[in-house]
Amino acid sequence: MNLSNKKVLVTGSSGFIGENLKTRLIKEGAQITIFDKRNGDDVKDEKKMAGTLKNNFDIIYHLAGVSGSAGSNKNAIESFKINTLATIKMLALVCKISPKTKIILSSSRLEYGIPRKLPVGESHPTEPNSIYGLSKLLATQYALLLAKTQKLNVTIFRTSNTYGPHEKEKFHGYNLINHFIDLAKSNKKIVIFGHGDQLRDYIYIDDLIDAFILANQKIASGKIYNLGYGKGVSLMEMATLIVEKTGNGNIISRPWPQEYKNVETGSYISDIRAINNDLNFVPRTTFVEGIIKTINN
């Protein structure tokens, strides 16, 4: 889709995905407006959001939210206020103020909870085992309801683990690959809970942004897509590769802390056939290539 001169709003634009998305949108010639807490914007501020939406954007990428499964269980109310209620209010405002706007909603594989089988397709039961997963699921279900009842033009991504070149920052309990790479480059210990044999599906940031751009196609309206690489890599394999490619760091194993054990989902692999069939999306960056690119950033 040609994004030249399209009016695009990005909420939560200062996060890892948001920063990369902004770079791509600028390259595509879009006219970007950001709504971000670093600029004093609050997604819970319904009045300010309503005023912003009066600009009648062509596209809204809604990335704002609080992340982290273990952290969400400690602060459930805030997770629901931001991930659920603020998102619901924004979507309702779009229907009222700017009904032709395309919404791309960034959600998480954690809506599924513990997989019953692999790979996980979009029809898999949604049984989140964390407040974070539940808070995201409630928002996405509301979005689908509006798509059916008010023709809201929305596409939802249930994204697996994303990684790629980034600014080093404090670890908040997610973005594990980027955190492990930061540790290894500083020649620090990488801690693996348990044996590290659970599989994760890692998608490189450039591939994720490609999917976000492709989602503007008409066929994606009212759809949920799993977004990942479509293959599993164990945590231990991932950490070992990082140590090998950086030439630094060392891996140690520790028992699961209870707060993380409570929200662990076990192995996960995305079934990406739906997004491939509808949008011709194919991840271009292999896991090894992505790790090397991230390390060399």
- The answer to whether residue 244 sits within a structural domain is no
Residue linked to tokens 């060399």: 296
pLDDT at 140 over 80: yes
pLDDT-derived band at 175, boundaries 50, 70, 90: confident
264-296, pLDDT tens digit by residue? 899 999 999 999 999 999 999 999 999 999 999
- pLDDT of 74: 83
Assess if residue 64 is contained within a domain: yes
Instruction: Look at the alpha carbons of 113, 281, 118, 204 in this order and tell me if their dihedral is positive or negative.
Output: negative
Residue 259: band (very low, low, confident or very high) from pLDDT cuts 50, 70, 90: confident
**Residue 236 belongs to a domain:** no
Distance of CA 166 to the CA centre of its chain: 15
- Average pLDDT of span 63-73: 85
Q: In this predicted structure, what is the pLDDT of residue 174?
A: 65
Residue 36 CA to its chain's centroid (Å): 16
Instruction: Read off the pLDDT of residues 189-200 as tens digits, 9 standing for 90 and up.
Output: 999 999 999 999
pLDDT at 269: 98
- Can you give the pLDDT at residue 172? 55
- Domain limits for position 68: 7-164+203-229+269-283
Range in 44-48, 170-174, 202-206, 238-242 the model is least confident about: 170-174
Q: Does a structural domain hold residue 24?
A: yes
Q: How many domains does the chain have?
A: 1
Residue 176 within any structural domain of the chain = no
pLDDT in tens, 93-127: 999 999 999 999 999 999 999 999 999 999 999 99
Token pair in block for residue 270:
């995305």
CATH number for the domain that contains residue 138: 3.40.50.720
Whether 168 has a pLDDT exceeding 80, the answer reads: no
State what percent of residues in the chain have pLDDT above 90: 88
- Say if residue 257's pLDDT is above 80: yes
Across the chain, mean pLDDT equals: 94
pLDDT for res 234: 97
CA angle 162, 244, 203 (to 5 degrees): 15
N- to C-terminal Cα separation, the chain: 29
The answer to whether residue 182 sits within a structural domain is no
214 residue type, one letter: L
Question: Does any domain span residue 252?
Answer: no
In a domain, 238, yes or no: no
**Of how many residues is the chain composed?**
297
In this prediction, residue 73 has a pLDDT band, given cuts at 50, 70 and 90, of confident
Confidence of residue 171 (pLDDT cuts 50, 70, 90): low
